[in-house]
């Protein structure tokens, strides 16, 4: 092997170490935390580098990167290990929920409506809904007679449509959250159910990071103080790998666990696709299926989940 190739490989090892340290630093600062969303491409890169180092007969360097690879794979394992999937026994009727960041500038209204009708969810939670989106989807109101609509001219309009009546509803526009948070209680087949629809800011500054953490803390509070089963869904602008995600608390289960890695933002891109749209739920429920739908003109993909009540 030439001296130049050895230099390149050893430089790559140094970069891998620095990247790993930066990922760890995400516990304390919003900027390196952004890197934690890209666990899968990072792990793939480390795996390729490990193989190259052993082929190049640099076993010590290869062993170092292999250890870093294992560290990267630990959080990813939650999406692949069978025992992380919620397989508890269930009872009662099935409910279906769809969450979708439709993208404000997207004009494929008819295609999105067709997708919604195809899956026919009981509860529809959309983000980035402008007044144009509200008008374009107005024909859905016949199937969803209970509506919470909060259109905005920016990218943070939000709505929740339900086939079942609300017992209470609120759009929380507190300044600490920066974006609206929809909270609703419904009667589903004779049972009470709470729903939250959220769309946090892209965490591109210390201020937006604080705002997002406040939203996650509010969600955790709602989960702790719930008087009924709770489902939280929306565009979190945060993956389950980010330290901030832990603020949602232990009361909420992640519907993606045990179902494989599934990017929801820029899903079409093999390196930049990340899973920042979430569907979370409390112990009274069991997620029985989870599907990622087509983008339909958006830079996000919808998530369609089904639930049943956990058997007592």
CB 212 within 8 A of CB 238: yes
Measure the CA–CA gap between 278 and 82, rounded to whole angstroms. Answer: 20
pLDDT value at residue 268: 85
pLDDT value at residue 239: 93
CB 62 within 8 A of CB 46: no
Q: Which residues contact 105 (CB under 8 A, 6 or more apart)?
A: none
Q: What pLDDT, in 10s, does the model give residues 228-274? A: 999 999 999 999 999 999 999 999 999 999 998 889 999 888 778 99
pTM: 0.93
CB 215 within 8 A of CB 274: no
Q: What pLDDT, in 10s, does the model give residues 35-62? A: 999 999 999 999 999 999 999 889 999 9
- Binned at pLDDT 50, 70 and 90, residue 7 comes out as confident
Strand order of the β-sheet with 181-188 is 166-172, 181-188, 191-199, 230-235, 277-281, 253-254
Three-state SS string over 52-112 comes to HHHHCCCHHHHHHHHHHHHHHHHHHHHHCCHHHCCCCCEEEEEEEEEEEECCCCCCCHHHH
Q: Would you state the structure tokens that stand for residue 143, as one six-digit string?
A: 């199937």
- Residue (of 91, 89, 79, 169) closest to 123 by Cα position: 169
Q: What pLDDT, in 10s, does the model give residues 167-223? A: 999 999 998 889 999 999 999 999 999 999 999 999 889 999 999 999 999 999 999
- Domains of the chain and CATH, by start: 3-79 (no CATH), 83-310 (3.60.10.10)
Q: Which residues contact 110 (CB under 8 A, 6 or more apart)?
A: 136
Return the SS3 of 121: coil
CB 49 within 8 A of CB 15: no
Q: Would you state the structure tokens that stand for residue 156, as one six-digit string?
A: 């943070």
């Amino acid at each position: 092997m030439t001296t130049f190739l050895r230099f390149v490989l050893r430089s790559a090892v140094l970069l891998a170490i620095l990247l790993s340290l930066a990922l760890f630093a995400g516990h304390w600062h919003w900027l390196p935390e952004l890197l934690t969303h890209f666990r899968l491409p990072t792990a793939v890169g480390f795996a390729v580098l490990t193989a190259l180092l052993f082929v190049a007969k640099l076993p010590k360097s290869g062993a170092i990167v292999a250890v870093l690879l294992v560290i990267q794979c630990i959080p990813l394992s939650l999406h692949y290990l069978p025992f992380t999937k919620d397989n508890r026994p269930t009872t009662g009727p099935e409910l279906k929920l769809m969450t979708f960041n439709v993208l404000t500038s997207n004009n494929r209204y008819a295609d999105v409506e067709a997708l919604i009708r195809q899956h026919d969810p009981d509860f529809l939670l959309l983000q980035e809904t402008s007044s144009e989106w509200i008008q374009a989807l107005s024909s859905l109101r016949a199937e969803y007679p209970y509506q919470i609509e909060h259109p905005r001219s920016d990218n943070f309009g939000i709505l929740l449509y339900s086939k079942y009546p609300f017992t209470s509803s609120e759009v929380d526009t507190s300044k600490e959250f920066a974006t609206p948070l929809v909270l609703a209680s419904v009667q589903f087949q004779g049972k009470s159910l709470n729903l939250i629809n959220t769309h946090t800011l892209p965490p591109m500054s210390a201020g937006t990071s604080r705002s997002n953490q406040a939203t996650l803390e509010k969600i955790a509070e709602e989960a702790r103080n719930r008087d009924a089963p709770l489902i939280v869904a929306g565009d979190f602008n945060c993956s389950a790998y980010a330290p901030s995600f832990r603020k949602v608390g232990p009361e909420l289960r992640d519907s993606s666990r045990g179902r494989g890695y599934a990017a929801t933002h820029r899903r079409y891109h093999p390196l930049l696709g990340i899973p920042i749209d979430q569907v979370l739920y409390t112990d009274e429920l069991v997620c029985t299926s989870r599907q990622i739908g087509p983008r339909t003109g958006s830079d996000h993909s919808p998530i369609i989940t089904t639930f049943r009540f956990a058997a007592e």
